[in-house]
Structure 1
């Protein structure tokens, strides 16, 4: 795994030094800077490629939320705070993890494992721009690009920020939500029938009130709030 550039921002000196001490135990983390004020860290956003933010939330000059809004291009944001009531808002700003102080080493280690898993998937699963003649997509898998023909895709399955693109031969993972994919022109032939699934109309064999059967005897559940979409399957 590549070395990840990180910054730490916390106005409490003891908490700031605790995060730094723990982070130094992981050679995959390269600490670019440690700050008590988010304003002082802003120049790094312009001059450095940053992979991970370790942020407090309640800070006097620039809150952790305000800093994150200025740094949404940073892929990983970890909040470490004494205020558990901010958890929902933190995930609305695409936080990968939310830790309630006091920070303990075992909890920090769990966060590092989560970061590693996220970055590995991000590296392996990158949806590439479209395709020859508009009939295929390219999916990055490791160091290779795999061409997947759109008419070979049976269905899409949501995995949080990722989507499985499933053909009869293989399951590909792409770094894009299912909702984002379905907005693309390439995926107009797909119908979302569940919060986690969208099917390609041409492969539908049977429909009943609670599931759809595709070719290869694949059965996909129908979500209650998506039943009206069945009218789009001719």
Structure 2
């Protein structure tokens, strides 16, 4: 099934270019057009969207501020004429950053990357890979492993994989950190960085912008996740 995409940009020409490019990509379908963030918020509340093409310089609410508002955001490709927001954008887990004007080849590369991430986020078609209140089943090395929630210290993003750390070792699974964030019980597991989710029961203490775990591991808190301190 094609990626269902929404364009959010205040420039009509940007909509035309992206729509034109999308016509030549069979796994991409443009399903909506919004010209400001408030319009996009309403659209997203009523429609299922897999991917956003998001401009940064929007009227009233800027593109990156919109991402911070969304509780559950689709995959995001930034399309901007300004390169100085790239670092902040990737802190918000965007798939890619397209600097206007961009070629079809560069657009295709970004969309292909988004499609790969989308596929990784889809549940494996087996009843075993699900979370229960006490256990998590994950796929690793072509087999399924059952983990007790209480034994998981933290999860670490590793490209298209996630390392699930117990006290002294980790298991590698082909999924995204965001998919685990949506699956794990929010009262026990807290996202503290674009690369880390921690199990609250294994937090020893907080110091500055660091979380120290009971096994001695020290994890950095991302600047966009400072509110996580209030939950630990």
SS of alignment partner, residue 191 of structure 1: coil
Equivalent residue for 1:172? 173
Q: Structure 2 vs 1, CA of residues 52 and 159 (structure 1 numbering), >3 Å: closer, same or farther?
A: same
Distance in 2 separating the partners of 1:157 and 1:55: 27
Q: Is the 8 A contact 1:7 1:52 kept in 2?
A: yes
Q: Is the 8 A contact 1:11 1:37 kept in 2?
A: yes
**Gaps spanning 5+ residues in structure 2: where?**
178-190, 205-212, 220-232
**Gaps spanning 5+ residues in structure 1: where?**
196-234
Matched pairs, number? 188
Distance in 1 separating the partners of 2:157 and 2:176: 11
Distance in 1 separating the partners of 2:214 and 2:120: 24
Q: Is the 8 A contact 2:7 2:15 kept in 1?
A: yes
Alignment of 1:70-219 (within 5 A): 70-123=69-122, 128-130=130-132, 134=134, 136-139=135-138, 147-148=146-147, 158-160=157-159, 162-165=161-164, 171-176=172-177, 179-180=196-197, 182-183=198-199, 185=201, 191=215
Q: Structure 2 vs 1, CA of residues 128 and 179 (structure 1 numbering), >3 Å: closer, same or farther?
A: farther
Equivalent residue for 1:54? 53
SS of alignment partner, residue 24 of structure 2: coil
Q: Is the 8 A contact 1:164 1:173 kept in 2?
A: no
Q: Is the 8 A contact 1:81 1:100 kept in 2?
A: yes
TM-score between the two structures when normalised by the length of structure 2: 0.64
Q: Is the 8 A contact 2:56 2:62 kept in 1?
A: yes
Select between 57-66 and 45-54 the one with higher mean Cα deviation: 57-66
Deviations 1:140-161 (A, max 9, x none): 68xx9753468999x9764158
Q: Structure 2 vs 1, CA of residues 4 and 171 (structure 1 numbering), >3 Å: closer, same or farther?
A: same
Q: Work out whether 1:3 is the aligned partner of 2:5.
A: no
Distance in 1 separating the partners of 2:14 and 2:160: 30
Deviations 1:93-140 (A, max 9, x none): 221111111121010011011112211222257x84345xx4x42226
State which structure, 1 or 2, has the greater radius of gyration over its C-alpha atoms: 1
SS of alignment partner, residue 196 of structure 2: helix
Deviations 1:1-23 (A, max 9, x none): x3222110112222221011112
TM-score between the two structures when normalised by the length of structure 1: 0.63
Q: Is the 8 A contact 1:164 1:174 kept in 2?
A: no
Alignment of 1:30-49 (within 5 A): 30-49=29-48
